Amino acid sequence: ADPLLDVRDLHVEFRTRDGVAKAVNGVNYTVHAGETLAVLGESGSGKSVTAQAIMGILDTPPGFVTRGQVLFQGRDLLTMSAEERRKVRGARIAMIFQDALSALNPVLTVGEQLGEMFRVHRGASRKEARAKAIELMDRVRIPAARDRVRDYPHQFSGGMRQRVMIAMAMALEPDLIIADEPTTALDVTVQAQVMDLLAELQREFTMGLILITHDLGVVADVADKIAVMYAGRIVETAPVHDIYRAPAHPYTRGLLRSIPRLDRKGRELYAIKGLPPSLLHIPPGCPFHPRCAQARGRELCRSDLPALLPVVGGRASACHFWKETLGDDNAAADRAG
């Protein structure tokens, strides 16, 4: 089947006082109905900006899509009329943000905000809208929905507020949900519950889901495939389990090693040394080379930008020496196991 969403060669720039920040530099990814894509990377990797370009909400300093296509059900969101685009983005694609408190309106009750979706988009009466709001709150398992429908966002706990956000996103039964760090602000147990709920709804409604996160630890059980971003590019894509078993890019390997693991208790947590590059001055060659241990003594890493190319088994890597990375980890797994 054709993908639900097909992002092609997307480029986004921000014009800042200090120059042009190249936030997204040729991103390609697809999401099919019923599929979950996890987009992973540190902050500034371009994972949120890509989502904002899809949703048409690039914020200040002004961001511009300078090249590419965002095909949704086969039609380019970037070139369709403003009217059509509003319809698609309002009803067919929904977004969930990290900070529900600032995404929700503080002076309206949760019931009013949920109800408004049905009043505006479905022409529901006040009474119908309220009934729908309660139904939705039940669906996302907010206890005592009938009473809580009258509460304001600040009266909910962080986890419950995130459920309200999910209910808002689900209200019109969209085809695609984009969740940007949906559980980052929550504590670990609540994170898992919210992630499970999202995965359950996604399966039930056969939606496409894009899960944006900096934390490889939270997506293992819910994602089908992963795209790892660095400096505005995808550096590795893989079916989810392969990436945990044996990454094919040194950056992915670094992210994996920095996940806290119970079986490594007591051992020092690994951190990738250095910082992501400024998007105003992306290093030549492989953008990861200043932080990459494998780059040592290798001119190619400093001179040639590696393209994202198929490697093995439905996977792609943007590393000149992916074989080595993959080999290291296979060898390590053999030794361990």
Residues 182-200: b if buried by 16+ CB within 10 A, e if exposed: bbebbeeebbeebbebbbe
Q: Does 319 bind ligand SF4 (CB under 6 A)?
A: yes
Distance CA 284, CA 32 (A): 34
Report the distance separating Cα 92 and Cα 222, nearest Å.
Answer: 22
Q: Is there binding between residue 213 and Mg ion (CB under 5 A)?
A: no
Judged by beta carbon distances under 5 to 8 A according to partner kind, the member of Mg ion, ligand SF4, none in contact with residue 164 is none
289 binds ligand SF4 (CB under 6 A): yes
Q: Which residue has the tokens 């371009």?
A: 46
- As a whole number of angstroms, the distance between CA 285 and CA 297 comes to 14
Q: Is 237 in the site for ligand SF4 (CB under 6 A)?
A: no
Nearer to ligand SF4, 161 or 291 (CB): 291
Per CB under 6 A, the segment of 2-10, 99-107, 264-272, 290-298 that binds ligand SF4 is 290-298
Which H helix or E strand runs over 325? helix 322-336
Q: Which is nearer to Mg ion, 42 or 128 (CB)?
A: 42
Q: Does 292 bind ligand SF4 (CB under 6 A)?
A: yes
Q: Is 102 exposed, middle or buried (0-12, 13-18, 19+ CB in 10 A)?
A: exposed
Q: Which residues pair with 27 in a beta bridge?
A: 10
Window of 29-37, 86-94, 284-292, 328-336 that interacts with ligand SF4 by CB under 6 A? 284-292
Contact map string, positions 239 to 278, toward ligand SF4, x by CB under 6 A: ----------xx----------------------------
- Buried b / exposed e across 250-263, counting CB within 10 Å, b at 16+? bbbbbbbeeeeeee
306 binds ligand SF4 (CB under 6 A): yes
Tokens representing residue 182 in the block: 């949906």
State the Cα–Cα distance between residues 170 and 193, nearest whole angstrom.
17
Q: Of the candidates 294, 308, 311, 326, which one interacts with ligand SF4 according to CB under 6 A?
A: 294
Q: Which stretch binds ligand SF4 (CB under 6 A): 204-212, 238-246, 252-260, 291-299?
A: 291-299
Task: Choose which of 36, 48, 162, 294 interacts with Mg ion (CB under 5 A).
Answer: 48
Residues in contact with ligand SF4 by CB under 6 A are 249-250, 286, 288-289, 292, 294-295, 298, 301, 306, 319-321
Residues in contact with Mg ion by CB under 5 A are 48
